[in-house]
A and B are shown apart, each in its own frame.
Chain A
C-alpha cells in the first residue's frame, strides 16, 4: 500500500457500477453490527425455532423415530398452513426486536452528525441512501423470516412428495409475501422514526410505542366505544389479518400467532387493513423525503 506517497494525486482508474453503490452502505453497516456480541447472539439464536420446526417436520414423516425412543406418536400430527403461520408469527416477532435494536442506529447518527451532505455530495442519491440503509434490515430480516420459512417448506415438500407440494403452493407464496410486507413496514418505520427524532434511543422507544402503546390505545377505544375500529391503530392486528388472508381463508378462526393474533369476531375488513398499512408506509416515505436531504431548509 502506497501510504508513503504524501501528496495529492487525481484518480483516473476504474469505477464501480453506479447501481451497486447502495450496497457499500449496507456492507459498512454489517461490519459495525458484527462487532456487537449481543446482536450476533440474538441473530443466531433466532434460528433455534426454525431448527425446531425442521425437526418437527422430520418427525412427522419419520414417526418410527418416536417408536425408537419409546414414545407414542400423536393422533393428529398435521403440518399445514397454521404451522407455517405460527412460524411466521414467531420469527416476525423476533425480527421486530432485532429491527428495534438495529434500525434506529442506521440513520439517526448520520443526521445528528450532519453526515448527509457528505453522502449526497457524491454520485449517490437520496433514494440510494434509503435503499442502502433499508437493505441492511431487509437482508437480516429476510434471513430470519421467509428464507428459513421457504427452507422448511422445501424440506416438507421433499418428505411429503410432489403432490403435497403442488397442492400447497399457497403456503410459500404467503410466507414470502407476508414476510416482505412485514419487512417493508418494519424497515420503513424504523428508518422514518430514526430520521425524524435523530436520536437512536428515542427512535427505538418510538418504535415500541407504535406497536404496543398504539395498540393499547386502540384497545381502549374499542372498549370505550364498543367498536372494533380501534384495531386500525394496532399494526400487529393489521398485519395478522393480512397474513391470515394470504395463507388461507379457512384460517379465519382466530388464527395468527404470538402478538399478531386476530381475535375471533374482531376482524376488520381486509381492504381496511391493506389501506391502513399502505397509508403507514406512505407516511414513512413522506417523513424520509422530508428528512433525508443534503441540506435542511428552515423556512
Chain B
C-alpha cells in the first residue's frame, strides 16, 4: 500500500493558551486535497504545522511517512509552499528570486537558473522575469509565488489561498495551472481556500475543519459517482400508479404530488426503463437530473454537524 501523503495522529497544536488544533486524526492520500473551513477553523495552523513552523503540543504529523518534527528537513525537501500573504525578497528580479529559492531547496545553481526561467514562462510571466518583484501587480506576485513553489519540483505542493486578490481572468489562469499540475500526476497538492468553487474545480478530496476539528472528509470523485444513481424527475401526468411501477423496478421513490419524483436507481436498472414505463403510462418526463451534492451542500452539512466522518 502506498504511503499516505499526510498522516495525522491525535495532532494538537496550542498557540499560547489557545488550543487551535484538537486531536486531529486521519490519513490522506488524494492527489489534490482541498482544505476548507470557516475563518479560525485551523487551516493555516495545520499547514504551518505540516511545514514545521509550529510545534505540535501533542500527537504527530507525517508527510510521506516522515515526522514533520523529527525529520523536518527531509520532509520539507519534498514540499513546495505558496503562502497566502505577500512574500518576496525586496529588490530581487523575479527570476533571481525563484532561482534563490530553488537553490535553497538543493538545486545546483545552473539547474536552478534553468528551472527558474522555465517556471516563469510556465506561469505566464516570462516577459517580466527581469523586473524586480516589488514592481509586480498583485496577480503577478501570486504567479511568482507559484513559480517559486514549483521550481524545485516538489512532491507535495501547499497552496494557501492561491486565488486571493486575483481578477476573474487571472483566477481562471491560476485554476488552469493548478489543474494542469494536478492532471500531470507528478505531485500531490493541498489547496487551502475559503472559495468552494476553487476547491471544487481543483481537488478530488476535501477535508473540512471546524473549530480545530475534522468536521468532514469526503472524496469528491466518489461522492459524484455515488450520487450518479440519484435522480430527480419532473413529470406531467405522473400518478401513484406510475410511482408504483417505478418501485416495481426495485427503485426507492418519493413522490411529492406536484409531478416531481426523487428516486434511487438500483444496480441493473437503466434510465431507459423509466422512459419505457412513462410511455406505457403516457407520462411526460420533462426533466431528468442526476442529483448531486454540491461542495456547498457538503460544506454546509459539515458545519451543521458536530463531527464529520473520516
State in angstroms the CA–CA spacing of A7 and B123 once bound together.
9
Assess whether B105 is in contact with A113, with CB atoms less than 8 Å apart. Answer: no
Q: Is A249 an interface residue (CB 8 A)?
A: no
State in angstroms the CA–CA spacing of A3 and B126 once bound together.
9
Contact with A along B63-95 (1 / 0, CB 8 A): 000000000111011011101011111110000
Determine which of A11, A25, A117 lies in contact with B83 in the assembled complex, contact meaning CB atoms within 8 Å: A117
Number of chain B residues close to chain A: CB under 8 A: 54
State in angstroms the CA–CA spacing of A30 and B70 once bound together.
33
| Nearest CB on A from B310, distance (A) | 27
Assess whether A32 is in contact with B186, with CB atoms less than 8 Å apart. Answer: no
Assess whether A124 is in contact with B104, with CB atoms less than 8 Å apart. Answer: yes
Instruction: Among B74, B77, B105, find the residue whose CB has the most chain A CB atoms closer than 10 A.
Output: B105
Contact with B along A95-137 (1 / 0, CB 8 A): 0000000000000011011110111111111000000000000
A123-B77, A297-B15 given; A13·B122 CB < 8 A:
no
Collect the chain B residues with CB atoms within 8 Å of residue A293's CB: 53
Q: In the complex, which residue of chain A has the Cβ closest to the Cβ of B101?
A: A118
State in angstroms the CA–CA spacing of A297 and B54 once bound together.
9
A123-B106, A294-B53 given; A109·B87 CB < 8 A:
no
Assess whether A21 is in contact with B106, with CB atoms less than 8 Å apart. Answer: yes
Assess whether B54 is in contact with A295, with CB atoms less than 8 Å apart. Answer: yes
Q: Is B150 an interface residue (CB 8 A)?
A: yes
Collect the chain A residues with CB atoms within 8 Å of residue B126's CB: 3, 6
State in angstroms the CA–CA spacing of A125 and B53 once bound together.
10
| Nearest CB on A from B185, distance (A) | 10
Assess whether B16 is in contact with A113, with CB atoms less than 8 Å apart. Answer: no
Instruction: Among B80, B100, B113, find the residue whose CB has the most chain A CB atoms closer than 10 A.
Output: B100
Q: Is A12 an interface residue (CB 8 A)?
A: yes
Q: In the complex, which residue of chain B has the Cβ closest to the Cβ of A9?
A: B153
Contact with B along A191-214 (1 / 0, CB 8 A): 000000000000000000000000
Assess whether B106 is in contact with A109, with CB atoms less than 8 Å apart. Answer: no
Assess whether A117 is in contact with B108, with CB atoms less than 8 Å apart. Answer: no
| Nearest CB on A from B188, distance (A) | 12
State in angstroms the CA–CA spacing of A113 and B74 once bound together.
26
Assess whether B89 is in contact with A16, with CB atoms less than 8 Å apart. Answer: no
Collect the chain A residues with CB atoms within 8 Å of residue B52's CB: 120, 294
Interface residues of B in 100-151 (CB under 8 A from A): 100-101, 103-108, 111, 113-115, 117-119, 121-122, 126, 148, 150
Q: Is A2 an interface residue (CB 8 A)?
A: yes
Q: Is B181 an interface residue (CB 8 A)?
A: yes
Q: Is A224 an interface residue (CB 8 A)?
A: no
A3-B126, A5-B118 given; A21·B88 CB < 8 A:
no
Collect the chain A residues with CB atoms within 8 Å of residue B106's CB: 15-16, 18, 21, 122-123
State in angstroms the CA–CA spacing of A7 and B126 once bound together.
12
Collect the chain A residues with CB atoms within 8 Å of residue B115's CB: 11
Collect the chain A residues with CB atoms within 8 Å of residue B187's CB: 10
Q: Is B210 an interface residue (CB 8 A)?
A: no
Assess whether B85 is in contact with A14, with CB atoms less than 8 Å apart. Answer: no
Q: In the complex, which residue of chain A has the Cβ closest to the Cβ of B95?
A: A3
A1-B113, A6-B122, A7-B122 given; A122·B76 CB < 8 A:
yes
| Nearest CB on B from A103, distance (A) | 16
Instruction: Among A9, A13, A25, A121, find the residue whose CB has the most chain B CB atoms closer than 10 A.
Output: A121
Collect the chain A residues with CB atoms within 8 Å of residue B72's CB: 125
Q: In the complex, which residue of chain A has the Cβ closest to the Cβ of B75?
A: A123
State in angstroms the CA–CA spacing of A120 and B103 once bound together.
13
| Nearest CB on A from B143, distance (A) | 13
| Nearest CB on A from B126, distance (A) | 7
A3-B121, A14-B108, A119-B104 given; A114·B77 CB < 8 A:
no
Interface residues of A in 281-299 (CB under 8 A from B): 293-295, 297, 299
Assess whether B15 is in contact with A122, with CB atoms less than 8 Å apart. Answer: no
Collect the chain A residues with CB atoms within 8 Å of residue B153's CB: 9-12
Assess whether B181 is in contact with A11, with CB atoms less than 8 Å apart. Answer: no
User: CB within 8 Å of A: which residues of B?
Assistant: 15-17, 48, 51-54, 72-74, 76-77, 79-81, 83, 85-91, 96, 100-101, 103-108, 111, 113-115, 117-119, 121-122, 126, 148, 150, 152-153, 155, 158, 180-181, 184, 186-187
Q: Could you write out 30 A-B pairs with CB less than 8 Å apart?
A: A3-B121, A5-B118, A5-B122, A7-B122, A8-B122, A10-B186, A10-B187, A11-B153, A21-B104, A25-B104, A28-B100, A109-B89, A109-B90, A109-B91, A112-B90, A114-B86, A117-B51, A117-B83, A117-B87, A118-B87, A122-B104, A122-B152, A123-B74, A124-B73, A293-B53, A295-B54, A297-B16, A297-B54, A299-B15, A299-B16
